[in-house]
Homo-oligomer: A and B are copies of this chain.
Amino acid sequence: MAISRKISDFIGRASFIRKMFEEAARMRADGQGPVYDFSLGNPDLEPPEAFRERLFAVVGDKSPGTHKYMANVGYESTRRAVAAALERELGLPFTADSVIMTVGAGGALNTVLKALLDDGDEVITPLPFFVEYGFYADNHGGALVKVPSRDDFQPDVEAIEAAITPQTKVLLTNSPHNPTGVVYSAEVLAALGDLLRRKSEELGHTIYWISDEPYRKLIYDIDRCPSLFEAYESSIMVTSHSKDLGLPGERIGYLAISPKADDPATLFGAMAFTNRTLGFVNAPALMQRVVEDLQEVTVDIEWYRRKRDLLYDSLTRFGYEVTKPEGAFYIFPKAPGGDDMSFVARMQEKRVLVVPGTGFGSPGYFRIAYCVDDSVIEGALPLFEEALG
């Protein structure tokens, strides 16, 4: 056997999380009673009715050529619809040429990083971080540099400044944030924009800012998510309809380039090229046509807010230390006793599955993904209380 040594190493190092998932799968199948599974961000919520209606309409349309290749960047009409929705939301002049339809946000992130990175370039990301970012940066010759965040999980601007080197090419943030549920504030985004502008000038090359926002519509205490586009010019947002329309299996997302970026046409051309040559070729045709008319549609936010409130109120009442999440469907409490790995193992014995903060580069915490039925939360709450005792 001689698979790639690098891939073999990666798989070996990831094995402790894999073992946890294997144990969870075994538990789900063992017939020994309910399993309270908060381990995966796989929404247990059907897409909205408008999605189903639109899907029927698209499938019923017998126009020829609807399953053919289109331009690699996606249908112009879909890109125009996305741009118009962004313009309505943000008041910036997005056009079809600001947008490339992608195979989800994961596809978009690889497309953008490939277009920007050369070997040895550094990508800074705040902790805790989504573990895939490390693989994505490495795929394209980059190195992920992880920087501690403030106690409230907002980015620490000074720590990010200290991490910038001549090799820094990208700042990669994620808001609303997985695994903490924190929404980055407009003030922190503005401070980051000022920092990147100053450092790009000093270094003599542009530091690009990529914001990964698959949860941008899932916010509970504010009207809209503060945007990097208001804070910085050389910026690219990647997102998907996995969470806001509940379609993670369909792999439909997009990237949007700031209309204020320097030479946006070159960025667009480079990403059209990398989206093609990484083998994505184009976002799935049928789903492009479906989401075109659903840019203002979102799953039932109340369904998530209720769970957020139930979990946050209960956990704090029990005595857990936890930052209140404002978006996404994650909550990231401190692990009682401080050792997240042993806490997670203890919960597993109670048939409650959560993910250790270690898996996100932040030991001492654990993640609950609450995109599950209320009954799962209600069944698990006494077990969380018990685990404190």
Q: Beyond A249-B70, A280-B251, is A273–B139 a contact (Cβ under 8 Å)?
A: no
- The closest CB in chain B to the CB of A247 belongs to B67
B4 A279 Cβ-Cβ under 8 A? no
Binds B, one of A84-92, A182-190, A282-290, A350-358: A282-290
A367 at the interface (CB under 8 A from B): no
Kindly state whether residue A173 has any CB partner on chain B within 8 Å. Answer: no
Contact of A270 among B11, B40, B284 (CB under 8 A): B11
Q: Which residues of B contact A64 (CB under 8 A)?
A: 46
User: Interface readout for A61-73 with B: 1 if CB under 8 Å, 0 if not?
Assistant: 0001111111000
Residues of B with C-beta under 8 A to A5: 118
Could you show 23 A-B contacts with beta carbons less than 8 Å apart? A2-B169, A3-B266, A3-B267, A4-B140, A7-B114, A7-B270, A11-B273, A47-B67, A55-B59, A59-B59, A103-B279, A104-B279, A108-B279, A109-B279, A132-B277, A248-B281, A249-B285, A251-B280, A251-B284, A251-B285, A278-B278, A278-B279, A279-B280
Partner of A269, one of B11, B46, B251: B11
Choose from B46, B47, B103 the contact partner of A251 (Cβ within 8 Å): B103
What 1/0 flags go to A1-27 for Cβ under 8 Å of B? 111111110110010000000000000
A110 in the interface (beta carbon within 8 A): yes
Interface residue A42 (Cβ < 8 Å from any Cβ of B): yes
Q: Least Cβ distance of A284 to chain B in Å?
A: 5
Q: Is A106 part of the binding interface, using a Cβ–Cβ cutoff of 8 Å?
A: yes
Q: Kindly supply a per-residue 1/0 record for chain A positions 348-376, scoring 1 wherever the CB is within 8 Å of any chain B CB and 0 otherwise.
A: 00000000000000000000000000000
The count of identical subunits is: 2
> Is the pair B1, A206 in contact by a Cβ cutoff of 8 Å?
yes
Selected from B206, B246, B279, B281, the residue in CB contact (under 8 A) with A2 is B206
- Asked whether A116 is an interface residue with its Cβ less than 8 Å from the other chain, the reply is yes
Bound Cα distance A109, B68 (Å) = 20
- Tell me the complex Cα distance, A251–B282, Å: 8
A315 within 8 A of B: no
18 further interface pairs, Cβ-Cβ under 8 Å (given A6-B118, A67-B248): A1-B267, A3-B115, A4-B270, A5-B118, A11-B269, A14-B273, A46-B65, A59-B59, A67-B250, A103-B279, A106-B281, A132-B277, A136-B277, A249-B284, A250-B284, A250-B285, A250-B286, A278-B279
Residues in B whose Cβ lies below 8 Å from that of A104: 279, 281
B118 touches A4 (CB 8 A): yes
Contacts of A8 in B (CB 8 A): 270
